[in-house]
Amino acid sequence: MSTVQDRTPGSSAPGDIAVPSFAVIPGGQVRRALEGREKDIVEVVEAAYRLHGSGRTVNPPSSFLCFPDRPTARMIALPASLGGAARVDGLKWIASFPENVTSGVPRASAVLILNDPDTGYPFACLESSIISATRTAASAASAADRLSRGRPRPTRVGFFGTGLIARYIHTYLEGSGWSFDDIGVYDVSAESAAGFRVYVEQSGSPAAVTVHRDPQELIRTSDLVVFATVAGQPHVSDPAWFGHNPVVLHVSLRDLAPQVLLASTNIVDDIEHCLRAGTSPHLTEQLTGSRNFVSGTLDDVMAGRVDVPADRPVVFSPFGLGVLDLAVGAYVYDEVDRSGELRTVEDFFHERRRYG
């Protein structure tokens, strides 16, 4: 990946800076830049986790905009700064309107702004629902790999919730080297479950696909369980459902009751971020008055600071870090720029001289 200095051209004179050009990257270009590069993006995400774990990022708490007249909807601002060799600052602004689905419109929409760390000027605006789903899926694929080491590699995966995020996670699991004998599907919407089954069958996956009517059956028959719902509070509370010690990717964060987490090894992406906003780990902390049930972060696992025992379930609960959006967004920017298809907006910053 090129450096931020390469992305934001300025004067070659020492200490002299210039206002960068401003690019707009629509969803089609984003998709083309990422398609078929699952292994590369998992590496990008893992590198961002390492930078975050070493303190070379700034990742403030997300800000939630909620609406009294639209209780299921929200918008979230994720500001962040990514250090390392390719520095970049920025902000993801993402809306979640679950009611959209009933009209056939995707639940989430988003933009990502990339800022030059030397001048503060934004130099790109990217369509980001694809970037957001991609970084979530790459994080999940990384966790599935890292947390299943030391135990038999899962061959049966179950998707609890079958929207866009589940589709991206399936793509990233198979694109990063996973293969499954069986793929289980459960959704409160029979239409969504059937649609996901068709997607998997058309993807070329050789696995048998089973649509389950009972969520317990899905969990008990899966070695790898993916929660990708829009649940606002826990709805799975029996630890016995996880008695076969699966790897659980708790991507939607609010599905599991504290009893399930207390019977499991718990790994998060960032402890401070994850234990807030009514997530299942946050409810578990409130119940117990302690954070001792959290073993560590995914970066701790990657670095060997935390071992994951094979004799109990392991649950990965990622809050979703803005630095991951920056890392994937910067990758997309570089790929589009390299292709010669970068679209800049002439004179976007009109006032370029301090005194006119």
User: What CATH code would you report for 4-131+322-339?
Assistant: 3.30.1780.10
Whole-model pTM over 0.75: yes
Closest CA to 314 of 247, 268, 249: 247
Contacts of 297 (CB under 8 A, 6+ apart): 49, 53, 267, 268, 269, 270, 271, 306
Task: Tell me the C-alpha distance between 12 and 7, whole Å.
Answer: 14
Task: Tell me the C-alpha distance between 164 and 169, whole Å.
Answer: 9
> Cβ(129)–Cβ(91) under 8 Å?
no
Architecture of domain 138-317: 3-Layer(aba) Sandwich (3.40)
Q: What residues form DSSP beta bridges with 112? A: 92, 126
Q: What residues form DSSP beta bridges with 156? A: 182
Where do the CATH 3.30.1780.10 domains begin and end in the chain? 4-131+322-339
Closest CA to 106 of 27, 218, 38, 40: 27
What is the number of helices (H) and of strands (E) in the chain? 12, 15
Q: What share of the chain is helix, strand, coil (3-state, %, to 5)?
A: 35, 25, 40
Counting as low any pLDDT under 70, the low residues of the chain are 1-16, 356
Residue with tokens 């890292």: 146
pLDDT score of 105: 87
Q: How far is CA 3 from CA 84, 294, 305, in A?
A: 9, 35, 30
CB atoms within 10 A of CB 150: 11
Closest CA to 139 of 331, 330, 297: 297
For residue 259, give both structure tokens: 């009893």
Q: At 286, which amino acid appears?
A: Q
Cα 99 to chain centroid, rounded = 21
Q: What is the pLDDT of residues 6-54, one digit of tens each?
A: 454 433 344 567 888 999 999 999 999 999 999 999 999 999 999 999 9
CB atoms within 10 A of CB 15: 5
